[in-house]
Amino acid sequence: MAPTIDRQGYWGRPTSTLEWCEENYVVSFYIAEFWNTVSNLIMILPPLYGAVHTYRNGLEFRYICSFLGLSAVGVGSWCFHMTLLYEMQLLDELPMIYSTCVFVYCLYECFKQENSISLFPIVLLLIFSVSVTLVYLQWKEPVFHQVMYGVLVACLVMRSIFIVTWVYPWLRALCYTSLGVFLLGFLLWNIDNIFCDSLRASRQMMPPGVGVVTQFHAWWHIFTGLGSYLHILLSLQIRSTYLKYRPKVKFLCGVWPTLHIEPQRMS
């Protein structure tokens, strides 16, 4: 993780169990890690639009929760990187577990009757979430959180690949795009952690506008935020196809993907 030779700022000395490679309080006295903070906008604003759009389309509440969960992760991550306080770190990390549990429920329950609720997976995921929370509050080991989050992501990956391989193969492009973008973010997250000293040294020799490009934890937010958003679109498309709607991916302003669903069922 990042060295401790950082400036002091508005939020005081960091109390979090993690610090990242971005130098603290360089851009703003009020934001500890500026680029790691503002990069969370991609996880906050587009999912809010997705939640509203899903509600207007009259789709199931679980997908509204998926979008809002992703937004909650973005807000928590914003607060964490802005302050580097332990309480804000929890506001970032625990919603990652909770929102991904919602993703898992949606994807594993996509071939059920419309508006049905399956209590067993809900109880199972609640037990998992509460257990992870209690253990993590007592054992403040970030690797534990990362492993538990990785288990949930692995469940999503396996289920997604199964569905696009054996059920709806025409959705492979969206599935593998979502997965590829997410994995690219994960790669950059690891580079940021492993080569932090070299990255910091190189930024000292670069113009500020160029050095920003090497803020790989910020890129992790961007790529995993986009990958997670695309996963929700994939999950929605699988579900709406099963319910015999006609889903179609369209691009807002020619750039941002959204899912439009015609309510008429196919004969």
Angle at 260 between CA 160 and CA 119, to 5 degrees: 50
Ligand-binding annotation for 53, yes or no, is no
Is the Cα torsion angle 170, 172, 178, 180 positive or negative in sign? Answer: negative
Ligand-binding annotation for 22, yes or no, is yes
Ligand-binding annotation for 81, yes or no, is yes
Do 182 and 223 touch, CB atoms closer than 8 A?
A: yes
Ligand-binding annotation for 57, yes or no, is no
Cα separation values, 71 from 30, 76, 89, 126, 177, Å: 22, 9, 16, 20, 21
Do 163 and 238 touch, CB atoms closer than 8 A?
A: yes
Do 226 and 45 touch, CB atoms closer than 8 A?
A: no
Ligand-binding annotation for 115, yes or no, is no
Task: Give 4's DSSP letter.
Answer: S
Ligand-binding annotation for 231, yes or no, is no
Do 82 and 110 touch, CB atoms closer than 8 A?
A: no
Ligand-binding annotation for 60, yes or no, is no
Q: Which residues fall in the annotated binding site for Ca(2+)?
A: 20, 22, 24, 33
For the annotated binding site, the residues are 20, 22, 24, 33, 81, 217, 221
State the binding site for Zn(2+): 81, 217, 221
